[in-house]
Amino acid sequence: MNIEWVRRYCMSMPHATETVQWGANLVFKIGGKVFAILALEPPDVWLIFKCQREEFAELVERPGIIQAPYFARNLWVALETEDALSAAETKRRVRASYDLVLEKLPKKIRATLC
């Protein structure tokens, strides 16, 4: 698993966009809202994504996964390394993050995406 793999996967989701923000972070959005952040330079964390409330505590107890700096209060976690999760689990959790963010978009914005 590497930066390009995550980038291709995020961009494969319907209506996903990408931008470079906050220094050297590749930020993936749906409807203008962030669903994943990927560090491009040697970072403290590698990948950040949103999760369900009931998953948050379980995830941050695992080695290599921490509360996402500046995002934790909104239930975001950060992978410290590429191998903190398997590729399949990373894929599943990034998709879940996308779905959570999409679900919270205002109806008017969601209607323009569907």
- Domain 3-113: top CATH class: alpha beta
Mean pLDDT of 16-29: 93
Question: Each residue of 59-100: pLDDT tens digit?
Answer: 999 999 999 988 878 899 999 999 999 999 999 999 999 999
Question: Can you give the length of the chain in residues?
Answer: 114
Burial class (CB in 10 A: 0-12, 13-18, 19+), 101: buried
Q: Which long-range contacts (CB under 8 A, 24 or more apart) does 62-71 make?
A: 69/44, 69/45
Cα 40 off chain centre by: 14
Domain boundaries, the chain: 3-113
Question: Each residue of 97-113: pLDDT tens digit?
Answer: 999 999 999 999 888 88
d(CA 38, CA 6): 8
